[in-house]
Structure 1
Amino acid sequence: YVGPWLPEPVDTTQDPHLGAERAEAVEMAVLLLLEKLNPVERTAYVLREAFDYPYERIAEILETSEANTRQLVSRGRKHLAAERKEAVTPTAHRRLLEVFLSAARTGDLSGLEDVLTADVVSYTDGNGMRGASRIPVVGLPHVSRYLVAFAPRFWPQSQVRWVEANGRPAVLVLSGEKAVALLTADISADGIDRLMWVMNPAKLAPYVASLRD
């Protein structure tokens, strides 16, 4: 895979039973962090937190004991707690993402610096496609300047549509009728900690097809 990898976006509006706790378990940032776990730990965590499987059933699936399954899920929770700040509410999430979007589209450096955290990271999943950064951009100075330089080449011909992806407000960027990017973010009380741009057509197409009109 060429460049940063991000999980596939999911239109979670189509699951009316998705509660706040389950929604958090499928957030893009959470799934990205879970990639640092081994496959068994990751499976145990997702089945428990996202799908509310009983420990006994997860143990059967993983062919392990119930006690070990509880330890696997616990390790996943501790990993996320160590790696991620507490997320804001969906309303606050959208509000800050709107402010970011306004600054990003106009190349407003000061505006970007107001909403990005000091250790912000921007990931672009394009699998090598032209225009997609092949390495994560790290830190406030680098990310803000990258976005300012990026603005005149990307935003003037683009329209945006507010959507939901992985339980959080997100922005679908279109050029005419074609979706070119899905922007999601990990946002805490400190500001935007992670920007995640899905530009790989193989991931965008299924997501766009799943959206309700």
Structure 2
Amino acid sequence: MAGQEIDAEVLGERRHLLSLAFRMLGTVAEAEDVVQETYIRWYRMSRAQRDAVEVPRAWLTRVASRVCLDVLGSARMRRERYVGPWLPEPVPTLAFIDPKRDDPAERATLDESVSTALLVVLESMSPAERVSFVLHDVFAVPFAEIAEVVGRTPAACRQLASSARRRVHSAREAKVSRAAHDATVRAFAAAARAGDLAGLIAVLDPDVVLRSDGGGIVSAARHPVVGADRVARFLLGALEKNPAAEVIDQETPDGLGFALWVEGRVTGVVTMEVTRSVVTDVRMVLNPEKLTFWN
């Protein structure tokens, strides 16, 4: 393959690399850095070395995954220094789907793989588990190739992916259908907009947890808010304090959620977890650095 054709093919993989890195790291900014580093390593090679790469996409995937593995190694320490609760970056529905390769049958699966709910579960995994799971279960990379990335045997990588898959399946077992999720969220919205404290409490699990991620950049709760009464009062108080904010129903990879609009810009995205027809988790991302795809 001619050098110029290879370069065009490599640059055309940017969406794929960004999609891969986002699922591994949970923020677009970190994923962008990984993509940039991957391309730097590609162009650092001589033309002869680049021409010798038989499948550029596979080479780029391996390198990007190794960079992600390094980033994940230091991520836990950075999360501990983060101001307030850290949440993965929410992205719009179908954010990473390539229109040229869009398969309607795969949309739901691809959408779920960037849901905040799944990314929260991935955060609990070891770097090797997360990389193995994402590469194999999301991108169908063979275990022999994953082994080259994580420095383990293919059998060990298979076990890592299997362990990660069990965690993911365990989290999914408690989830309701998308229709039931959206119905509960609509009841939540109706009570909140009406200022109905009792009605809001009724659609919240007694042990519901609200996390608000402002990253120290904008005002947000520094600690999780726990319990139906406290969460309901927090939400109604927040709406009362921000009369200029317009709360709009928003489809997200997690199901129906909300986008907070102020003066023509999205200033927050709210996603929820619903179990047994009540809301068990409320996730509010207000950090403007995590709203890049919305504005």
- How far apart in 1 are the matches of 2:141 and 2:251? 24
Give 1:183's aligned residue. 270
Partner of residue 199, structure 1: 286
* Alpha carbons 1:21, 1:49 under 8 Å: kept: no
State the partner residue of 1:161: 248
Aligned partner of residue 212 in structure 2, secondary structure: strand
- Tell me which moved more, 35-44 or 47-56: 47-56
- Equivalent residue, structure 2, for 1:11: 92
Which one has a bigger Cα radius of gyration?
2
Of Structure 1 and Structure 2, the greater strand share is in 1
CA-to-aligned-CA distance 1:156-191 (integer Å, 9 cap, x gap): 322233333335333111012121110111122342
* Equivalent residues in 2 for 1:126-141, closer than 5 Å: 126-141=214-229
- 1:128 deviates by 1.7
Q: Aligned with 1:13: secondary structure?
A: coil
Q: CA RMSD in A?
A: 2.3
- Which segments of 5 or more consecutive residues in structure 1 lack a partner in the other structure? none
* Alignment check: 8 A CA contact 2:269 2:285 kept: yes
How has the CA–CA distance of structure 1 residues 165 and 190 changed in structure 2, closer, same or farther, with 3 Å as cutoff? closer
User: 2 CA distance for matches of 1:161 and 1:27?
Assistant: 19
User: Aligned equivalents of 1:13 and 1:167: distance in 2?
Assistant: 12
2: CA distance, partners of 1:122 / 1:12 = 22
Matches within 5 A, 1:45-60: 45-60=133-148
Q: Deviations over 1:105-150 (max 9, x none)?
A: 3332111122111221111110124431011112223212222322
How many angstroms does 1:81 deviate by?
A: 4.5
- 1:39-76 alpha-carbon deviations (Å, 9 max, x no partner): 11122222233333333332332232221112112222
Structure having greater relative contact order (Cα 8 Å, sep ≥ 6): 1
State the distance in 1 between where 2:252 and 2:229 align: 28
Q: Aligned letter for 2:196?
A: D
Alignment equivalent of 2:178, drawn from 90, 94, 97: 90
Contact 1:159–1:176 under 8 Å retained in 2 = no
The yes-or-no answer on 1:173 pairing with 2:254 is no
Q: Which moved more, 1:65-74 or 1:46-55?
A: 46-55
Q: Name the aligned partner's letter for residue 11 of structure 1.
A: P
| Identical pairs, percent | 35
Q: Given the superposition, is the C-alpha separation of residues 46 and 166 from structure 1 closer, same or farther in structure 2, using an over 3 Å criterion?
A: farther
Relative to structure 1, the CA distance from residue 39 to residue 66 in structure 2 (aligned partners, 3 Å threshold; closer, same or farther) is: same
1:67 alignment partner, SS class: helix
CA distance 1:12–1:120, change in 2 (3 Å):
same
Instruction: Give me the whole-angstrom Cα distance separating, in 2, the residues matched to 1:56 and 1:28.
Output: 29
Match among 121, 125, 146 for residue 234 of structure 2: 146
Amino acid at match of 1:5: W
Alignment equivalent of 1:28, drawn from 116, 139, 158: 116
The question of 1:102 aligning with 2:194 is answered: no
Cα distance change on mapping 1:159 and 1:148 into 2, 3 Å: closer
Instruction: Report the secondary structure of 1:128's partner residue.
Output: coil
Q: Which AA in structure 2 matches 1:102?
A: A
> Is 2:294 the partner of 1:208?
yes
> Aligned to 1:12, what secondary structure does the other structure show?
coil
What letter is aligned with 2:124?
K
Aligned residues: 207
Task: Write out per-residue CA displacement over residues 17-51 of structure 1, whole angstroms, 9 at most, x where no aligned residue.
Answer: 44434433322022112212111112222223333
